[in-house]
Amino acid sequence: MIRHLLACLATTAVCLVGGTADAQAPLLVPQEIVFYVHSDLKNTDFVEGLVCELSRVLAAPVRAATVDLPLRADYKASTSQLALAKLAAPLARATAGDGGGRIFKFLLLPYDLKSGTFNYVFAETYGAPYLISVVSTARLAPADDGRSRKVASDITLQRVYKLVLKSVARMAGYTKPEGCILAFPRSLPELDSKSSEFCDDDRAALINAGILKAKPFGACTSVAGIAPMPRVGAIALR
């Protein structure tokens, strides 16, 4: 049982203890999707477009805010990486007062992430009772190699979008096998090449549960720096 849970945590899947792959429990439908954008994340051009694109496909409202979140030295796995195993519970406690029990919360960080036996991960998702996902842009933001600011922002947006949609499904308790957008990327080429859509059966299940809209609605124009995000002030991890 312990090995089963650790394997699920390592692949960011949410596991049903005692269940089978075919026994899908009722899904948890979020009231809201909230992005906490760490104040150390300097290039946030992609965030506005991310919120808009997710709002087109998700039934729940989506918002983002900048947050001051001091990260203690003991949350580090090394000088350059954060240890996700040490971060989830304190983050859940620190954000417990923001909304009710069905708020899916995402922390966007500029720092590299370490989880289990993986050398790095792009993101990690924790289901109930935490309902939190941590996403790092350290490897997602393209290198400054002459691309325009708009192009760089769009690349980051597309990569984060794929990770977030997968995380929403897993946070809701969706346990079906990995395919299409639910595939687990082990490198940037794998992330870039995988679909940004759910497979038909997965999409139908998430629509029926009230997590996805039946059809995308609205249009997005990603323009860098239109409006500053609101700040939620300092959150202390303890």
Looking at the domain assignment, is residue 123 inside a domain? yes
> pTM score, two decimals?
0.83
Residue with tokens 């994340």: 41
Looking at the domain assignment, is residue 107 inside a domain? yes
Dump pLDDT digits (tens) for 133-171: 999 999 999 987 778 888 899 999 999 999 999 999 999
Residue 180: CB atoms within 10 A of its CB come to 17
Q: How many domains does the chain have?
A: 1
Could you give the residue ranges of the DSSP H alpha helices within the chain?
2-10, 45-57, 88-94, 149-171, 188-193, 200-209
CATH number of the domain to which 146 belongs = 3.40.390.10
- The SS3 call for residue 106 is strand
Give residue 183's pLDDT.
93
| Under 8 Å between Cβ of 126 and 107 | no
Give residue 10's pLDDT.
40
Give residue 233's pLDDT.
53
Largest pairwise CA distance in the chain: 52
List the domain range (segments joined by +) for residue 171. 27-216
Give residue 223's pLDDT.
43
Looking at the domain assignment, is residue 65 inside a domain? yes
Looking at the domain assignment, is residue 4 inside a domain? no
Looking at the domain assignment, is residue 238 inside a domain? no
Looking at the domain assignment, is residue 11 inside a domain? no
Give residue 161's pLDDT.
96
Looking at the domain assignment, is residue 96 inside a domain? yes
Closest CA to 109 of 76, 151, 146, 145: 76
Looking at the domain assignment, is residue 13 inside a domain? no
